[in-house]
Amino acid sequence: MNFARIAAAAVVAWVISLPVGFFVNTVLLAGLYAPNAAAMRPEADMNAKLPIGFAFLLIGFFAFAYAYAKGYEGGNGVMEGIRFGVLVAVVVTCFGLVWQYILYPITGALTVAIIIDSIVEMAIYGAIVGAIYKPLRAASRAAV
């Protein structure tokens, strides 16, 4: 396993996720957040907690890239990454996102939008990780 490439893939995907997340949440989904404001933190409180979210997002990207590398089957990295990202999104949706709808008073429209966004974003991040991660060559592994 190529740990340097795992780290590079994780960091690049994380860096790209920051402006993507900003755009999705402040532009694309802004109209859906407004009717759900009562279920959310005030903006100033949320902004104060962003560093915590960014740190855990980076940790998550390391786990994401590591899991991708563990399951890498040797095919086209981008296509494998897209499949992997969609699979991760399905897991996150079923174990987490749907439960946000059940637990918190948010609308079904916001829930569906977040699920669709998660699938699309995870596919993008999977493609990034798949494009960057390359396993060590057999000769390099024998030397290690």
pTM of the complete model: 0.90
Categorize the per-residue pLDDT at 24 as very low, low, confident or very high, splitting at 50, 70 and 90: very high
pLDDT for 138: 45
pLDDT value at 10 more than 70: yes
Judged by phi (left if over 0) then psi (alpha if -120 to 50, else beta), residue 25 lies in alpha
